[in-house]
A and B are shown apart, each in its own frame.
Chain A
Amino acid sequence: MRCLVVDDSRELCAVLKLTLKSREHVVLEAFDGEEAWTILQEEQVDIVISDWVMPRLDGLGLCKRIRAEEVDDYTYFIMLTSITENLDIISALEAGADDFLSKPVELENLQARVHSASRILNLQKSLKEKNQALKLAYDNVQSELKIAAEMQRNLLPKGDIKPNSNLTIKWLFHPSQLVGGDIFNYLYLDNEHVAFYSLDVAGHGVAAAMLSVSLHKVLSSEFCLHSDAIMKTTPEITDHIVDPSIVMRRLNTQFLMDVDSHQYFTMIYGVLNIRTGKLMYCQAAHPHPILISSEGKARSLGEGGFPVGLVETSIYDTLSVDLVSGDRLILHSDGITECTNLSNEPLGEQRLMDFFVQHHDVSMQELMFDLHNYLLEWRGGKYEFTDDISLVAFEFNEPC
């Protein structure tokens, strides 16, 4: 240990120094508080053994100054006291003294106190090293997660599907942690069919995100496969469009969870004919899609359905609806309807539907902006959620 002895008696300093040196400590000395403080500015010191009553700066003042300036390494402070001086031990403890040693100093007692100080400082040092290692590990995980979050965000579609298309698409995405289990996409199967999905893996965080990303890959290749097949034939043939319920059935077989995990997902998969407005979709336990007409009438679509990957014997149905010009179709994950306000009340389907009715005549761009603010207000001013949230809005207009 590196010790600093501080006393205005040069003889006492010399004795203390000799005793400690014999125990292989490095010992520095100062003859008052100010001198000690100057040394402390330049030298690394583990233990200060200081007299209380000294000229210029006394022991109490020195101790207070050390505690006030302490940043990283702890300095152990032993105060020398004398029964002839009427000193207030409590004020010294409050100033940050760790131990006391009465004068005249018994050298064995001094060695024992310094030994106990070394033990405490060593414990503190090892704790500090462990904390540093922990922080490093935590920072590594966080930066890896940030990269993963960026990768996941990059999988999301970039905006409208095609410039000047009669389909306008806007979305909102906010994982509850850096990465999440919600994902969605939309793309052309051929010149007139747009396929889309919105899915939500049970749970959130890393495990859910890993499944959502693999599903994104599978679904994108599935989509591409079929558009290839269509390109080879004539664009008018729609037989090659795979029925949404079949897509769901395939996914259910491919991603069936085993008894030890409970990873499964809810999903909407649909195909919209952007020429006729005919929409075919399959709802796998995902919240009901909302349809808003240009006059502001709302409908909740679908009849529910089995989730994907949960039960082997699940049966899926394809439903269809004809969109007319100006219709908006809203897909969302339950993170939105289940997000609570400050009184712990969930937003619910009705309120979300009312929001879209009230905003039926604003532009799609504004709609997403207003929805963001609406959710922000609902959450009491904090745009933070306990579950992942995602929402995709489509506006269909009659082709010109």
Chain B
Amino acid sequence: MLLENMEKNGILVVKLLEKRLDAHLAVEFKETLARLISEGHRKILLDLETVEFIDSSGLGAIVSALKRISGENGDLIICSLQDATSSMFKLTRMDKVFSIYTSESEALSVVA
């Protein structure tokens, strides 16, 4: 799984460099986020710019990370959704659960 982490203005930007976040990647992705949270990160921006498709397992992994970080009084926000993933977030009402920004710079300017 290709992932890029970078600390910007006190926020950990996690960029998933994959086209699909599906059942094949979900477990590894969930565990990676769990590890980052256990290392003490409390503000995570998940950048999904390259992701064209998220299936239900992938969505489960993201929500599981949100629950984990919320339990530590942190927050996980999302940016740069492509059209197909954006409509998936709308269909499942996850656009009501996550703060979603159009770009990384917008997310950082609002949250930082």
Contact = CB atoms under 8 A, between A and B. Distances in A.
A287 B97 CA distance: 19
Interface stretch (B43-51, B87-95, B100-108): B87-95
B20 to A, nearest CB: 10
Contact of A304 (B23, B55, B90): B90
A212 to B, nearest CB: 13
B74 interface: no
A317 to B, nearest CB: 10
Interface residues of B, number: 20
Interface stretch (A45-53, A140-148, A221-229, A255-263): A255-263
A202 B56 contact: yes
Interface stretch (B5-13, B58-66, B75-83): B58-66
A262 B93 contact: no
Contact of B56 (A200, A259, A304, A305): A200
- Interface of B (DSSP majority class): helix
A77 interface: no
B60 A262 contact: yes
A204 B55 CA distance: 11
Interface stretch (A54-62, A96-104, A243-251, A306-314): A306-314
A306 B60 CA distance: 12
B40 interface: no
B60 A285 contact: no
B68 A259 contact: yes
Nearest to A309: B60
Chain A interface size, as a band, is 20 to 34
B92 A262 contact: no
A307 B91 CA distance: 9
A334 B61 CA distance: 18
A387 interface: yes
Given A259-B67, A262-B30, A262-B64, A202 B92 contact: no
Contacts of B23: 203-204
Pick the 10 closest A-B CB pairs, nearest first. A262-B60, A202-B56, A285-B92, A304-B91, A306-B93, A203-B57, A259-B67, A262-B64, A202-B60, A202-B57
Given A266-B92, A346-B53, 19 more contacts: A202-B55, A202-B57, A202-B59, A202-B60, A203-B26, A261-B64, A262-B26, A264-B56, A264-B60, A287-B91, A304-B90, A304-B92, A305-B92, A310-B59, A310-B60, A314-B93, A338-B53, A338-B55, A387-B55
9 contacts: A202-B55, A203-B57, A257-B60, A257-B64, A266-B56, A307-B59, A310-B63, A311-B63, A311-B97
Interface of B: 23, 26, 30, 53, 55-57, 59-61, 63-64, 67-68, 71, 90-93, 97
